[in-house]
Amino acid sequence: MGNSFSFTKPLLETPFHERTYEACYNNDWYRWAGYKIAREYSNTELEYTAMRNTAGVLDITPMHKYDIKGTDAIKFVDKLVTRNVTEINSGQVMYIIWCNEDGNVIDDGTVFCFNSNHLRIFCAERNLNWFSDTAIGFNVEVEDVSDTIAALAFQGPLTCKILNLLNVKDIENLKPFYFDKFDLNGCKVTISRTGFSGDLGYEIWCKNEDAINVWDSLFTFNRDYKVLPAGMNALEMVRVEAGFIQPNADFMSAEQALRPNRVRNPYELGMGWLVDLNKNYFTGKKNLVNLKKKTLTKKLVGLDIQGDKPAIGSVLYDKNKKEIGIVTAGMWSPSLKSNIAFGYVDKDHMKIGSKVFAEIYHPEELEYKKIWAECSVVKKQFFNPPRRHKVPAEI
Amino acid sequence: MRKFDIIIIGGGHNGLVAASVLSKKGNKVLVIEKNENLGGLSNYVNSLSYISEEVLKELNIKIEKDINENYVSALSDDLNHTVLKITGNKNIEILQTNASESDQANFFNLINKYDLFARTLRSFMFNKPPRVKSGSRSDIWQLFSMGFKVRLLGKKNMRELLRVIGLNIADDLEDNINNNTLKGLISSEAVIGTNLGARSPGSILNLLYNQATNNSIFRINKYNTNSFLNSIREICKKNNVEIETNKKVEKIGISNQNVNSVLLDTGEEIQTSLIISNVDPKTTYLKLVGAANLDTDFIRRTKNYRTKGTVAKIHIDFKNEIKINNLDTKYLSGKFVYAPDIKYIEHAFNDNKYNKLSSNPCLEFYINKNRLSANVYFIPYLISSSHDKTEILSNVKMILEKFITENQILSSAIETPNDIEDKYNISGGHWSHGDMEIDQLLMMRPFYGSSQYSTPINGLYLCSAGTHPGGGVTGINGINAAKQLLKDKRNG
Ligand SMILES: Cc1cc2nc3c(=O)[nH]c(=O)nc-3n(C[C@H](O)[C@H](O)[C@H](O)COP(=O)(O)OP(=O)(O)OC[C@H]3O[C@@H](n4cnc5c(N)ncnc54)[C@H](O)[C@@H]3O)c2cc1C
């Protein structure tokens, strides 16, 4: 895909830019929260393969980062999100979603607990306004610290081994969804065992001035391990395989949707497991209690599609050719050797194993080939290897 | 722990009205009032012009009329004052003026037009307005009947209502009248107690709204506020309502989105499953309920609900009985307005917009022998600074010196919107517990998600001026809230 933006204001460069710029042969940049992030460095398939077989490095600096400080920090997050976070421990990370009063999802993210008076939320969309309004009545300060922290996702089966070779002490014992402070090549960094890839992997948070040093260190053993910088296209592939959905791609954020029927609640997104209706009051609880009782009319599901042509943007039908939904993300998965997608289906086709049909328009040398492909409804999490959860991690 | 069927937070007139309605039905009711005196903001009201038949009937009370003839004097710097005589609801006569014949005729045409429109609005005042987005049949019926009443005006008048309802009062006046004093007088009624200047859109709507609830464009004294309050208090007493004053509710106890108690500043906790709050919506939600029990969107709307007060109350005691220069003493029992022209009002309002004090404020005052009691506007409610009260007083005195001479001021006292907020615990010390503008009226009052006197918390109701139909001493808010509670109680 070519560069389709005509920028009126130059995009910001992350602290890794000196390196990402050198590595980005294609000079193909993606606009993420006002920053330039490589869409493809040289070849998406290679970058993807590095993440699945060795290790890939992604510049995720543009992630929004909000510090929550004050004696009510935990109470505040508990009021904000649908999960019970009152039991969160120092050093723990939780995956969270938050809803508006109608019970429709605004965004998802992770929350890091430094101590009971200091948490930090990471998310893809801007949320300062929402967080600040949620903070009314709580003894907390919400601060946007996005620009003060540089961040890399280091994802793939060899990541622990490489960090271990870099003398990051005890890194193999870091449990999934935990984080700690470490020394990396002489820099003080925070490393969490988290990521978008659904595989073993880490996210590394450092000061802006240490960014280049941290970046370089991850490529120290490249002769043997072939670490590659990975762009947004490769990220898109791994996150679909891992079953992670994305606001404004798989659903419209309730804060941004203009059309009233475009918003989605957690049950429709298959995120009901994240909603705890027995915890203290949180935004949306009242309506979620009602929604839970109702039968769903549509749901986002995983699809295993016949053939090998990605069903990007396809409309879904039942066997009588009645339109029942749409595909929000689709790809040929090289690791799974299958044609996978996320899509919305109606209430008669939500069960695992249901059969639906996708109408795929596949471009072939200036002509579209129209394919009628059978799909099975499956779990969204397509890729989930045991090494992702193993403690100690493989070194 | 003590226990009551229903607790009313605040002994303002609406709280007391609600208590009387509820106690009549055999409920054990407790009213808790922060101040020593009951009545809340109605203690500032000099001119109670109207209590509707509906309210009098519901409460089964009669209140005495103070006087039959009323005067409104619009003071003019050149001492050519305009004096109106008002008999009955809308029988208005001009006793003296320097306005031309045609101006006078146009003045009456305008007043009659506003009166017609206000009567249409009045029919919305006593019902609860329909809820937004509810889809329920009664709500749709309500909306339909509101539209129908507007349609009954006939084509020409309906068009005119729809034309002016969003307009500013200055435009409509300037289209019809030349005389500055008359323009100032009507404009003043359209902007007092609001955050609107004479040129702000919505000032006509506010005028009509005031006129509808007061049944008179000049809100002129007819009833005695105290006698109204006393008769409500009598009913409360007769029905064994317990009233405790000098006690403040600090927090509403809530579990699982249900009301279960109130916590007082004395440390006492009193059990109940039903509460009506006479406190303004913003304070009720943010302080008494607490943000932790409310959705963020709802908190946002509460935060954005505009409650910046603009009126200060001043009492000045003179050495001798007060006389106004070049004005017959028989008009002294009436109301005085000093808002000499539209530009003057607009300037006073402009300073308020920037949270500054105008050195030339508008005045509405009454005289009782040696004492003068004035509403002074626009005096902004200040968040991060405090008022120079001596400056306000000296500004007011400078104006009064034009009209009151050969008399000496013995003492004066002022309450700014900030003082009113402190005393009555009402956000911004706002006249109507929140601006009366199109986005905060009818089904949008106080805001979406909180209309029809109900709240997101089960068992909690609102009856303050912050609900429909808004501010002023009407008692309608109290009656409607009590009725809504009783209806929900019946339906379980
Ligand atoms: C300066 C001024 C002049 C006005 N002049 C006029 C006029 O001429 N004509 C007219 O029609 N209207 C006038 N108004 C408006 C009118 O007075 C009010 O709109 C009306 O009185 C509101 O009545 P209410 O019962 O809804 O609320 P309020 O009278 O405000 O009652 C609320 C009560 O709750 C109490 N309270 C608050 N918090 C607590 C707590 N935590 N615990 C216990 N008690 C609590 C307060 O002390 C108060 O008594 C004026 C208002 C002001 C400020």
User: Looking at this predicted complex, what is its ipTM?
Assistant: 0.90
Residue B426 CA to ligand 1 center (angstroms) comes to 8
Task: Please tell me the distance between residue B301's alpha carbon and the centre of ligand 1 in angstroms.
Answer: 22
Residue with tokens 């659904």: A198
Contact B80, B98 (CB under 8 A): yes
Q: Which residues in A lie closer than 8 A to residue B298 (C-beta atoms)? A: 101
Provide residues with CB under 6 Å of ligand 1.
B 9-15, 32-35, 40-42, 44-47, 219, 248-249, 278-279, 311, 313, 375, 420, 424-426, 431-432, 464-465, 471-473, 477
Per-residue model confidence (pLDDT) at position B125? 80
Residue with the nearest Cα to atom 7 of ligand 1? B45
pLDDT at B126: 78
Burial class (CB in 10 A: 0-12, 13-18, 19+), B126: middle
**Average pLDDT, integer, range A197-223:** 97
Whether residue B58 contacts residue B48, with contact meaning beta carbons closer than 8 Å, is answered with: no
Average pLDDT over residues A3-12: 70
**Under an 8 A CB cutoff, do A286 and B257 touch?**
yes
Please name the helix (run of DSSP H) or strand (run of DSSP E) that holds residue A80, with its range, or none: helix A73-80
- What is the model's pLDDT at position B385? 87
Check if the beta carbon of residue B286 is closer than 8 Å to that of residue B296. no
**What's the rounded Cα separation, in Å, for the pair B472 and B465?**
7
- On chain A, the residues whose CB falls within 8 A of the CB of B304 are none
User: Stretch A305-323: mean pLDDT, rounded?
Assistant: 96
pLDDT digits (tens, 9 = 90+) for B372-404: 999 999 999 999 888 999 999 999 999 999 999
Q: Among B133, B295, B298, pick the best mutation site for testing chain A contact (most A Cβ within 10 A).
A: B295
Residues of chain B with pLDDT under 50: none
Provide the token pair at B289.
Answer: 């309920």
pLDDT in tens, A227-242: 999 999 999 999 999 9
Angle at A388 between CA A384 and CA A394, to 5 degrees: 140
Question: Cβ B296–A80 below 8 Å, yes or no?
Answer: yes
pLDDT, residue B443, reads: 86
CB A154 within 8 A of CB A206: no
Give the alpha-carbon dihedral of B185, B190, B194, B197, to 10 degrees. -70
CB contact residues (below 8 A), chain B span 269-288, against chain A: 286
CATH of region B6-63+223-304+437-490, choose from 3.30.70.360, 3.90.1310.10, 3.40.120.10, 3.50.50.60: 3.50.50.60
Separation of B473 CA from ligand 1 center, angstroms?
8
SS3 A264: coil
Cα–ligand 1 centroid distance for B472 (angstroms): 8
Domains of chain A: residue spans and CATH = 1-294 (3.30.1360.120), 296-395 (2.40.30.110)
pLDDT above 50: residue A316: yes
Residues of B in contact with A284 (CB under 8 A): 295
Q: Residue A311: helix, strand or coil by DSSP?
A: coil
Q: What is the mean pLDDT of residues A182-196?
A: 97
Residues of B in contact with A77 (CB under 8 A): none
At residue B165, φ and ψ (nearest 5 deg) are -65, -30
Q: How many other β-carbons are positioned within 10 Å of the β-carbon of residue B365?
A: 21
Average pLDDT, rounded, for chain A: 95
Cβ–Cβ pairs < 8 A, chains A and B: 42
Residue A6 pLDDT greater than 70, yes or no: no
The CA-based angle A197-A198-A204, given to 5 degrees, is: 55
State how far the Cα of B485 lies from the Cα of B185, in Å rounded to an integer: 41
The encoded tokens of residue B386 equal 């405090």
Q: What is the mean pLDDT of residues A302-313?
A: 95
**Where does residue B329 rank: exposed (0-12), middle (13-18), buried (19+ CB within 10 A)?**
exposed
Q: How far apart are CA B268 and CA B290, in angstroms?
A: 19
- Residue A185 to residue A166: CA distance in whole angstroms: 7
Question: Among B252, B282, B294, B297, which would you mutate to test the A interface (most chain A Cβ atoms within 10 Å of its Cβ)?
Answer: B297
Task: Provide the percentage of residues in chain A whose pLDDT is more than 70.
Answer: 98
For chain B, the average pLDDT equals 93
Q: How far is the CA of B309 from the centre of ligand 1 (A)?
A: 12
Q: Tell me the C-alpha distance between A141 and B362, whole Å.
A: 42
What H or E segment, with its residue span, contains residue A222?
helix A222-225
pLDDT above 90 for A160:
yes
Residue found under tokens 């309730």: A254
Do A103 and A110 meet the contact criterion of CB atoms below 8 Å apart? no
Q: Where are the domains of chain B?
A: 6-63+223-304+437-490, 102-214
Q: In this predicted structure, what is the pLDDT of residue A1?
A: 45
Of residues A100, A133, A280, nearest to B303 (C-beta) = A133
Pairing, β B460-462 against β B311-318: unpaired
Residues in chain B within 8 Å Cβ distance of A130: 296
Inter-chain CB proximity B296 and A133 less than 8 Å? yes
Q: Label each residue of chain B as H, E or C.
A: CCECCEEEECCEHHHHHHHHHHHHCCCCEEEECCCCCCEHHHHHCCCECCCCHHHHHHHCCCCCECCCEEEEEECCCCCCCEEEEEECCCEEEEEECCCCHHHHHHHHHHHHHHHHHHHHHHHHHCCCCCCCCCCCHHHHHHHHHHHHHHHCCCHHHHHHHHHHCCCCHHHHHHHHCCCHHHHHHHHHHHHCCCCCCCCCCCHHHHHHHHHHHHCCCCCCCCECHHHHHHHHHHHHHHCCCEEECCCCEEEEEEECCEEEEEEECCCCEEECCEEEECCCHHHHHHHHHHHHHCCHHHHHHHHHCCCCCCEEEEEEEECCCCCCCCCCHHHHHCEEEECCCHHHHHHHHHHHHCCCCCCCCEEEEEEECCEEEEEEECCCCCCCCCCCHHHHHHHHHHHHCCCCCCCCEEEEEEECHHHHHHHHCCHHHCCCCCCCCHHHCHHHCCCCCCCCCECCCECEEECCCCCCCCCCCCCHHHHHHHHHHHHHHHCC
Nearest CA to ligand 1 atom 5: B45
